[in-house]
Amino acid sequence: MPAGRVRIASVSTSALCLVILVLVSFNKRVWTQVLQHNPPPIIRFIIQQFIQALNPKGVALFQVPTYRLGYEFSQQKYLSREAKRREMEMHLLPQHQVFEAIGQEGGRLLEVIEDALTGSRYKEMSNTFLVQKE
């Protein structure tokens, strides 16, 4: 693929629906507004896999909700009933878990900012993270 071209990679399964823009010549990965539709263990797995796939000095930019008043996730409850629902899921990954996932894959946090990409829901926080692979 010629330098500067954009390739769209799409991954879709029953548990995971993700569209990622990959700027090939710059080794950048950018994704927003899709991670929260997966349960927290899947959000973390996706973050880790894409940081792991970066070349050294490659950069990833992603957005994920990190806090919602009253939110809790139980894998057992999710697998027994929530995963069977037919409505759009809205999950989050606590900020400290995002930081852990980044560090475990050799990423270095360059920036984290609060954003409003999940809308203006009451008592909810979303962050955009800029990460570089070391």
Domain ranges of the chain: 27-133
Model pLDDT, residue 60: 86
Q: Does domain 27-133 have CATH number 3.90.480.10?
A: no
> Greater confidence, 9 or 41?
41
Contacts (Cβ under 8 Å, ≥6 apart) of 73: 39, 40, 91
**Side by side, which strands form the sheet with 124-133?**
6-12, 17-23, 28-31, 59-68, 124-133, 107-115
Rounded to 5°, the CA angle 127-19-45 comes to 60
**Other CB atoms within 10 Å distance of the CB of residue 30:** 15
Q: pTM surpassing 0.85?
A: no
Model pLDDT, residue 93: 97
Residue 15 has pLDDT above 60, yes or no: no
For residues 38 and 104, give the distance between their C-alpha atoms in angstroms, rounded to a whole number.
20
